[in-house]
Protein backbone atom coordinates (compact mmCIF):
# COMPACT_ATOMS: atom_id res chain seq x y z
CA UNK A 1 0.00 0.00 0.00
CA UNK A 2 1.30 3.48 -0.91
CA UNK A 3 2.19 5.84 1.86
CA UNK A 4 0.02 8.98 2.03
CA UNK A 5 2.02 12.19 2.07
CA UNK A 6 0.78 14.76 4.55
CA UNK A 7 1.11 18.47 4.01
CA UNK A 8 2.96 20.66 6.47
CA UNK A 9 0.90 22.97 8.67
CA UNK A 10 -0.40 26.07 6.81
CA UNK A 11 1.95 28.43 8.66
CA UNK A 12 4.91 26.34 7.46
CA UNK A 13 3.89 26.25 3.76
CA UNK A 14 4.74 29.86 2.98
CA UNK A 15 2.66 32.96 2.57
CA UNK A 16 0.59 34.70 -0.05
CA UNK A 17 1.31 38.34 -0.76
CA UNK A 18 -1.34 40.48 -2.45
CA UNK A 19 0.32 43.47 -4.14
CA UNK A 20 -1.13 46.97 -3.79
CA UNK A 21 -1.61 47.11 -7.58
CA UNK A 22 -3.83 44.01 -7.53
CA UNK A 23 -6.13 45.59 -4.94
CA UNK A 24 -6.13 48.85 -6.94
CA UNK A 25 -7.25 47.10 -10.12
CA UNK A 26 -9.99 45.17 -8.35
CA UNK A 27 -11.17 48.35 -6.60
CA UNK A 28 -11.25 50.30 -9.89
CA UNK A 29 -13.23 47.56 -11.61
CA UNK A 30 -15.63 47.27 -8.67
CA UNK A 31 -16.23 51.03 -8.61
CA UNK A 32 -17.10 50.89 -12.31
CA UNK A 33 -19.72 48.21 -11.61
CA UNK A 34 -21.79 50.59 -9.48
CA UNK A 35 -24.78 52.13 -11.24
CA UNK A 36 -24.48 55.88 -11.99
CA UNK A 37 -20.68 55.86 -12.21
CA UNK A 38 -18.87 56.91 -15.39
CA UNK A 39 -16.30 54.60 -16.98
CA UNK A 40 -13.75 57.19 -18.07
CA UNK A 41 -12.88 60.86 -18.10
CA UNK A 42 -13.06 62.43 -21.52
CA UNK A 43 -10.85 64.77 -23.49
CA UNK A 44 -8.12 66.79 -21.84
CA UNK A 45 -9.07 65.55 -18.36
CA UNK A 46 -8.04 62.02 -19.25
CA UNK A 47 -4.61 63.20 -20.40
CA UNK A 48 -4.01 65.27 -17.27
CA UNK A 49 -5.62 63.17 -14.55
CA UNK A 50 -6.12 59.70 -16.06
CA UNK A 51 -9.08 57.40 -16.42
CA UNK A 52 -12.04 57.00 -14.12
CA UNK A 53 -12.68 55.10 -12.01
CA UNK A 54 -9.21 54.90 -10.52
CA UNK A 55 -7.93 53.62 -7.20
CA UNK A 56 -4.92 53.69 -4.91
CA UNK A 57 -4.44 51.11 -2.19
CA UNK A 58 -2.09 50.41 0.67
CA UNK A 59 -1.98 46.77 1.72
CA UNK A 60 -0.41 45.91 5.06
CA UNK A 61 -0.50 42.18 5.67
CA UNK A 62 -4.15 41.12 5.58
CA UNK A 63 -5.67 44.64 5.70
CA UNK A 64 -5.93 47.48 3.21
CA UNK A 65 -7.02 51.09 2.91
CA UNK A 66 -8.32 52.20 -0.48
CA UNK A 67 -8.90 55.58 -2.13
CA UNK A 68 -11.18 55.58 -5.19
CA UNK A 69 -11.98 58.34 -7.69
CA UNK A 70 -15.17 58.02 -9.71
CA UNK A 71 -17.20 60.02 -12.16
CA UNK A 72 -20.92 60.40 -11.54
CA UNK A 73 -23.87 60.66 -13.88
CA UNK A 74 -26.00 63.77 -13.28
CA UNK A 75 -28.45 63.89 -11.45
CA UNK A 76 -27.30 61.08 -9.14
CA UNK A 77 -27.39 61.59 -5.38
CA UNK A 78 -23.69 61.84 -4.61
CA UNK A 79 -24.05 60.78 -0.98
CA UNK A 80 -25.93 57.63 -1.99
CA UNK A 81 -23.56 56.95 -4.87
CA UNK A 82 -20.44 57.23 -2.73
CA UNK A 83 -21.98 54.96 -0.08
CA UNK A 84 -22.76 52.31 -2.74
CA UNK A 85 -19.24 52.60 -4.19
CA UNK A 86 -17.69 52.32 -0.71
CA UNK A 87 -19.72 49.21 0.16
CA UNK A 88 -19.26 47.48 -3.20
CA UNK A 89 -15.50 48.12 -3.43
CA UNK A 90 -14.93 46.84 0.11
CA UNK A 91 -17.02 43.73 -0.51
CA UNK A 92 -15.43 42.86 -3.88
CA UNK A 93 -11.85 43.36 -2.67
CA UNK A 94 -12.48 41.21 0.40
CA UNK A 95 -14.29 38.49 -1.59
CA UNK A 96 -11.63 38.25 -4.31
CA UNK A 97 -8.49 38.63 -2.18
CA UNK A 98 -9.38 37.77 1.40
CA UNK A 99 -7.86 41.11 2.42
CA UNK A 100 -9.90 43.01 5.02
CA UNK A 101 -10.70 46.53 3.86
CA UNK A 102 -10.47 48.95 6.78
CA UNK A 103 -11.54 52.06 4.82
CA UNK A 104 -12.62 53.14 1.34
CA UNK A 105 -12.32 56.86 0.66
CA UNK A 106 -14.43 57.91 -2.35
CA UNK A 107 -13.87 61.11 -4.32
CA UNK A 108 -16.26 62.21 -7.06
CA UNK A 109 -13.83 63.67 -9.59
CA UNK A 110 -16.23 64.36 -12.45
CA UNK A 111 -19.96 64.76 -13.11
CA UNK A 112 -21.47 64.25 -16.57
CA UNK A 113 -25.02 64.60 -17.87
CA UNK A 114 -26.92 61.33 -18.25
CA UNK A 115 -27.70 62.11 -21.88
CA UNK A 116 -25.60 64.06 -24.31
CA UNK A 117 -27.13 67.43 -25.12
CA UNK A 118 -28.80 67.50 -28.51
CA UNK A 119 -27.20 69.55 -31.24
CA UNK A 120 -28.69 72.90 -31.95
CA UNK A 121 -30.04 73.23 -35.48
CA UNK A 122 -30.04 76.73 -36.96
Burial class (CB in 10 A: 0-12, 13-18, 19+), 67: middle
**In terms of residue numbers, what domain contains 72?**
32-40+47-113
Residue 96 lies in a domain: yes
The whole-angstrom separation of Cα 66 and Cα 90 is: 9
Instruction: Indicate the pLDDT class of residue 48, thresholds 50, 70 and 90.
Output: very low
pTM: 0.80
| pLDDT tens digit sequence for 70-120 | 999 999 999 999 999 999 999 999 999 999 999 999 999 999 887 655 555
Number of domains in the chain: 1
Residue 65 lies in a domain: yes
Q: What is the domain-level CATH number for residue 80?
A: 3.30.70
Residue 67 lies in a domain: yes
Residue 8 lies in a domain: no
Provide the pLDDT for residue 83: 99
- Lowest average pLDDT, out of 15-24, 29-38, 106-115, goes to 106-115
Residue 1 lies in a domain: no
Q: Residue 62, Cα to own-chain centre: how many angstroms?
A: 17
Residue 70 lies in a domain: yes
Q: How many CB atoms lie within 10 A of CB 1?
A: 3
Local structure of 37: helix, strand or coil: strand
Amino acid sequence: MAEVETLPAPEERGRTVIADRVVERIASAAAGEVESTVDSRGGFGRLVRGRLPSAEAVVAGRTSRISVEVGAVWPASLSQLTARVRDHVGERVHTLTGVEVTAVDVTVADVVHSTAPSRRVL
